[in-house]
A and B are shown apart, each in its own frame.
Chain A
């Protein structure tokens, strides 16, 4: 089983729609969770950290369910500029600084 699993997509969504991505992780001792976005042939960039209480940043909402080892990202009122690959990233248990990346979910916003 992969350490971090995501639906690779692609998700083709009309502009203005709401889209949700899910991710599961296998290591129950994982401590930190993130969503990164990666544009084609570019480096990944941190979109947001994910906290147990859930957190929101503008149109983006991230949720963490530790019991189910499940992370989600919701994008509301999607824009053309949201087209990218979204990477679910998990940090190891305390003292383990490694980031483990999912394969990413490809999103295309259609005008």
Chain B
């Protein structure tokens, strides 16, 4: 199946700093990428949907100025958590959907990034 990578896999940062997470589709062109967040023992919650070359669509309650999403190419989307605080500590997972990657609706998930804000 199609492969999606994320970097870094784990990051620990101080409160107030910004953290950038990269999501890459390695063997297909991702027309749409999704960013999810998962707190312990909770379900994955969609944060935003990004289409290549256009602004991301954020879910209700997700601050677009705090979680900056850039989908500049068909293989790369980035999520920047600005001025991170301890409550932003979570497991951030991206997924991608696109041409020649499974059926039209299948999303392929990255391995996730575990963020800990001290």
Residue B71 interfacial (CB < 8 Å): no
Residue in contact with B44 in the complex, picked from A8, A41, A44, A45, CB distance below 8 Å: A44
Cβ contact within 8 Å between B112 and A97:
no
Residue A17 interfacial (CB < 8 Å): no
Residue A87 interfacial (CB < 8 Å): yes
Cα–Cα distance between A35 and B70 once the two chains are bound (Å): 30
Cβ contact within 8 Å between A91 and B105:
yes
Residue in contact with B105 in the complex, picked from A32, A42, A44, CB distance below 8 Å: A32
Cα–Cα distance between A104 and B41 once the two chains are bound (Å): 9
Cβ contact within 8 Å between A99 and B107:
yes
Residue B85 interfacial (CB < 8 Å): no
Q: How many residues of A contact B (CB 8 A)?
A: 19
Cβ contact within 8 Å between A97 and B43:
no
Cβ contact within 8 Å between B91 and A97:
no
Cα–Cα distance between A46 and B1 once the two chains are bound (Å): 11
Cβ contact within 8 Å between A102 and B43:
yes
Give every chain A residue within 8 A of B106 (Cβ-Cβ): 46
Which residue among B44, B97, B110 has the maximum number of chain A CB atoms within 10 Å of its CB? B44
Cβ contact within 8 Å between A104 and B49:
no
Give every chain A residue within 8 A of B34 (Cβ-Cβ): 99
Cβ contact within 8 Å between B107 and A98:
no
* Chain B residues at the A interface, C-beta cutoff of 8 Å: 32, 34, 41-46, 49, 91, 93, 95, 97, 105-107, 109-112, 114
* Chain A residues at the B interface, C-beta cutoff of 8 Å: 4, 8, 32, 41-46, 87, 91, 97-104
Which 6 pairs of residues, A with B, have the shortest CB-CB distance?
A43-B109, A101-B43, A103-B43, A101-B44, A43-B112, A43-B111
Q: Return 6 A-B CB contacts under 8 Å, by A number.
A: A41-B112, A42-B112, A44-B93, A87-B43, A99-B107, A104-B43
